[in-house]
Amino acid sequence: MGVATTLLPPTTSKTLQKQHLEAVGAYQYVLTFLFMGPFFSLLVFVLLFTSLWPFSVFYLVWLYVDWDTPNQGGRRSEWIRNWAIWRQLRDYYPVKLVKTAELPPDRNYVLGAHPHGIMCTGFLCNFSTESNGFSQLFPGLRPWLAVLAGLFYLPVYRDYIMSFGLCPVSRQSLDFILSQPQLGQAVVIMVGGAHEALYSVPGEHCLTLQKRKGFVRLALRHGGPPHPCPPAPPPHRGGSQSLSRPLHDGPGAALRGAQGKLWGPRFHLPHLHLGLAAAFR
C-alpha cells in the first residue's frame, strides 16, 4: 500500500483565533457524528404528529425511492469534501497524510486500514475530505471509506455521509464500486470493524483480524492474484487510541463484556469513553 495517516502532537505556535477555529471544526465533527443521526430520526417521527407532517411523509417517500443509492455509489459532493472546516479539524490534532509509494490509477485498490479507533478522525480527514489533498497526492484515484451499513438507515444523516464518499461495508456496495468501468477506485476498509473500537485504549495498539477475510476475497474477485504488501505500509492512523479513555478496564472487565455480548460485533456502544475525542488531545 502507499499511504499512511498519522495523528501528530499539536503545535503551540497558533493564534488564539486559529485555536478557536480548530476547536469549532473538531466539535462540529464530534457532535455531528454522535447526534445528527438520532436527532433527525426523532425529528422525522415527531413531525408526523404535527401540522408539518407532509414534510415527514415527503421525506419518507423519498427515502423509500432512494433506499438503494448507498449501495450504488451514493452521491459524492466535491463541494462538501472541500469545506474549509475540515482543514480546521485536520489542524486541531493535527492529522497528516504521508505518501510512501506511488499508486497508479490504472487499477483498483482495496486498502485495509487500522486501527478503527472511536470516530475514525484520521481516515475521514484523509480519505473522505480533501483537507490533506488526497487527489493531489494520488491523481486519478477516487477514495471510498467503507463504514457500517446501519448508518445509512438514519434519515438525513445518510445523505450527509454519502456526500463524503462513504459507502456501506457490504458485498453489494463494494462490488458495485469495484466493478465500475473507470479504474482508480480505492476502497478503504477498516478491517477490524466497529468491534475494534472497543479496544481503543491509550498506550495500546490492538487489532481485530481473526476471521476478517472478506476484504481478501473482495480483492481477489476484482484485482488479480494476491501479492505481499510492498514496503509501504497500509493506511495506518497512529495515535488514535490516545484520543479518549474507555470506561471499562480492558477485555475482561464487566462493562467491556456487556458491550460485546449485548451488541455483538456489528452493533454496540463504542462511545462509552471518558471525554469527547475532540476535547482530549
What's phi and psi for 142, nearest 5 deg? Answer: -120, 100
- Whether 216 maps to a domain, the answer reads yes
- Residue 170 domain-assigned (yes or no): yes
- Per-residue pLDDT of 169-213, as tens digits, reads 888 999 999 999 999 999 998 876 666 667 666 666 677 666 667
Q: Which residue has the higher pLDDT, 46 or 272?
A: 46
In this structure, is residue 277 part of a structural domain? no
Q: Is residue 208 part of a domain?
A: yes
- 179 vs 6 pLDDT, higher one: 179
Helix (H, G, I), strand (E, B) or coil at 7: strand
* pLDDT single digits (tens) 137-160: 999 999 999 998 999 999 999 999
Residue 253 placed within a domain: no
> What is the pLDDT at residue 13?
81
pLDDT, tens digit, 9 for 90 and up, residues 215-273: 777 777 776 444 333 333 455 555 555 555 555 455 545 555 555 555 544 444 444 44
Lookup: cell for 185: 477506485
pLDDT higher at 165 or 193:
165
As a whole number, the mean pLDDT across the chain is 79
- The predicted structure's pLDDT at residue 5: 56
Output the pLDDT for position 122: 87
Least reliable range by pLDDT among 51-55, 82-86, 115-119, 129-133: 115-119
By DSSP bridging, strand 142-147 and strand 237-238 are unpaired
The beta-carbon contacts of 131-136 under 8 Å, at least 24 apart in sequence, are: 131/86, 131/87, 131/89, 131/90, 131/95, 132/90, 132/95, 132/96, 132/97, 133/97, 134/97
The parent domain of residue 22 ranges over 16-223
- C-alpha cell recorded at residue 94: 493535527
pLDDT of amino acid 182? 92
**In whole angstroms, how far apart are CA 44 and each of 28, 36, 101, 127, 230?**
22, 12, 46, 30, 49
Tell me, yes or no, whether 140 lies in a domain: yes
Percent of the chain with pLDDT over 70: 66
Count Cβ atoms below 10 Å from residue 135 Cβ, excluding itself.
Answer: 14
Instruction: Output the pLDDT for position 279.
Output: 40
Structure confidence at residue 261 (pLDDT): 53
| Number of folded domains that form the chain | 1
CA–CA gap between residue 76 and residue 142 (Å, rounded): 11
Q: Is residue 64 part of a domain?
A: yes
Is residue 238 in a domain? no
pTM of the prediction? Answer: 0.79
25-29, 60-64, 139-143, 242-246, range with the lowest pLDDT: 242-246
Residue 20 has pLDDT above 90, yes or no: yes
pLDDT on residue 218: 76
